[in-house]
Structure formats: C-alpha cells, structure tokens
Amino acid sequence: MSMIVFDKHIENKLDSLPKGWASFCLYNGEAMLYSGYTANLAVRIKTIIAKADEGGIYREMWSLANGLDYDVHTSGIDALIQHKASVTDFVPTYQFRIMPWESYVYLGIDAHRFPFSTIVEHTNDDWLYLGPFRSRFFIADVIDTLSRILKLPYCESGTYPCEKFDKDICRGWCLSLASEKESKSEQSLDKLDALLKEAYLHPNNGILEMIGKNRDEYFNELEFSKASLLDDEIELLSKYKDWLNFLYTAKMLEYESDTLGISRGRITRCTYKGREYHYPVDYTEFRDNELLALNMDYVDESRVIYEFLRNGER
C-alpha cells in the first residue's frame, strides 16, 4: 500500500491521488481507524473532510487521523475484497460507527396516497419502495422529469389541488382523493397506479426512446439549445434505468469460483493474500412492497458485485 502521513491540510494533496478504484484505510499512528473502498479516492476523502466540518462522529475520527494508506485496483471487486479483509483482520475503531450510506434515500410510490411519490430515509411504511439511491437530488430530478413528460403528480406542497393543476402541468389526480370532489375528477387512481408503475418500475418503458427521437428532431432542425436540454434528460433517465436494472437483479446475484463466493448479492467467501475469509449469507426477508428495495448498508457492495458480474471482470 501507499502511505500518506498528513496534517490537517491534506486537502492540498488530494488532487495528486491516483484515479480509479482503490481500497483505503485511515490511521492514527499504527491504529486503524476506518477502512473503505471507492471509485474516486480524492472525492471520498473530500466527503469525509466535509462531514468532519459538520461535527459529530466524522469530526471525532478525522481529528485523530494522521495517516492515509491506499491500494489502487483495476476493478471494484478487488477493492471490495481487500476492504472486507482489512475490516475482518483489524476491526477499525470507527468502522461500525461511520455510515457512508446515511444520506441515501428511497423512492416511495402509491397511487392512492398523497403525495403519490415521496422521498424517504426508510421503508417502514406501506408505500411501494425502490432504492436506495445515493443522492436525494438525483431522485428528485427523476421525479420532476417524469412528472413533466407524463404529467404525473409531483406534489411539492402539503395542500391540494395546487397551482400545477391550474397551469395544466398536472392532470389533477389529487382530486380523486377527496370524496366531495370525486364528481369533479375524471382521473382514475387505478389508471394512475398503472402509469406510476410503468414510469418508475419498468426499465424498458419507451420513455428514453421517445425523448431521444425528439432530441434528434430538434438537432436535425438546428435547434441545438432544445436538443441540449434533452441531452440532460436522456443522461438522467439513462442513469435511473441502469440503477433500476441493478435493483431488479441485486438480491439474486450468485457466483462461485475457487477464490470467490457470492450469494444473494453479497460476498460469502473470498481469498486475499492466500487467506480465505468467510461471511454469512444474508437472509433478510423483504415485504412485497420492498420488492425493489435493498438495505442501505450493503447496497454499495451489491452494486460492485453487479458490475463485476455484468462486465465479466474475472
């Protein structure tokens, strides 16, 4: 591994860190404080520093850290394996007190409950849950984009109907929720249920193709500014489609070789530096409304495994 001994001005050295996958450990002298793995080491350390500035457990850990040890890897799976071995061998002091996933969120949808789509930090209620997603802002942008394209509800106020209905931005699905206004609403919540599931649950729902066609028409007509706006939407929804494909398969990821065992989307056995490590199979039981929901604490591991199996890295 490569060791950097630093003072609290390590920010000046971060841009010189290597790019790509890496496993890393923070030290206080010879005592390991925390182990992690990342696709961008500089960004990960900057995130830790930013959280330390906010206080709490990150500040406590960072105040003790005076060394950064890291190894560069050609793939995420190798970085993950070294990280798991380090945690097993050394049990870093802050390993189970630091939660990198604490800002992750779930998307909840329910055609019969206001506000129809919601961003939450847990799956304890009765919404239909997807996720987690690593960024609240990302999923908010997805909801906003799909609501504009398909006139799906995106209720940003606590009362309804709101000005979106008056401006014909939304079809006024909320009117069907109030019995005294049912006669004024021509919208069926069963229809909304089908539309929400088609938009948010089906990776191949044709929306990307539709936007792509519109984008090409603008480009061919030399309306480049409009085409550029659709480029942003295409990139956003492509990322959402990719994550959705991952969520559909994450709990079923399986793999066996002489040096690596994977079951239910997690590593159960691996070999590192000639030593074999074993981990329990995760038998978490999910409710029917958590079909596309993973536990926050292992979604990153499952994502690395998903990429490994999809790309055939070994």
Report the pLDDT value the prediction gives residue 148, as an integer from 0 to 100: 85
Lowest model confidence (mean pLDDT) among 50-64, 96-110, 173-187: 173-187
Report the pLDDT value the prediction gives residue 177, as an integer from 0 to 100: 72
Contacts 24+ apart (CB under 8 A), 228-231: none
Report the pLDDT value the prediction gives residue 20, as an integer from 0 to 100: 94
What percent of the chain has pLDDT above 90? 65
Lowest model confidence (mean pLDDT) among 59-68, 212-221, 284-293: 212-221
Report the pLDDT value the prediction gives residue 260, as an integer from 0 to 100: 97
Is the pLDDT reported for residue 227 higher than 70? yes
Domains of the chain, CATH where assigned: 2-90 (3.40.1440.10), 105-249 (no CATH), 254-311 (no CATH)
Residue type, 95: Q
pLDDT per position as a tens digit, 252-270: 999 999 999 999 999 999 9
Over residues 94-102, the mean pLDDT reads: 95
Q: Residue 181: pLDDT band by 50, 70, 90 thresholds? A: very low
CA distance 83 to 80: 5
Q: According to the per-residue pLDDT averaged within each range, which of 11-15, 146-150, 165-169 is highest?
A: 146-150
Is the pLDDT reported for residue 295 higher than 70? yes
Report the pLDDT value the prediction gives residue 191, as an integer from 0 to 100: 87
Over residues 178-184, the mean pLDDT reads: 51
Report the pLDDT value the prediction gives residue 211, as an integer from 0 to 100: 82
Is the pLDDT reported for residue 118 higher than 80? yes
Report the pLDDT value the prediction gives residue 163, as an integer from 0 to 100: 67
Dihedral in degrees, nearest 10, Cα atoms 264, 267, 269, 270: 150
Nearest to 241 by CA among 204, 268, 210: 204
Nearest to 262 by CA among 292, 312, 306, 293: 306
What tokens appear for 148 in the block?
A: 């504009």
Lowest model confidence (mean pLDDT) among 171-185, 271-285, 297-311: 171-185
Report the pLDDT value the prediction gives residue 3, as an integer from 0 to 100: 64
Report the pLDDT value the prediction gives residue 219, as an integer from 0 to 100: 64
Over residues 223-243, the mean pLDDT reads: 84
Of residues 4 and 245, more confidently modeled: 245
Q: Residue 6: pLDDT band by 50, 70, 90 thresholds? A: low
Report the pLDDT value the prediction gives residue 183, as an integer from 0 to 100: 42
Over residues 202-212, the mean pLDDT reads: 83
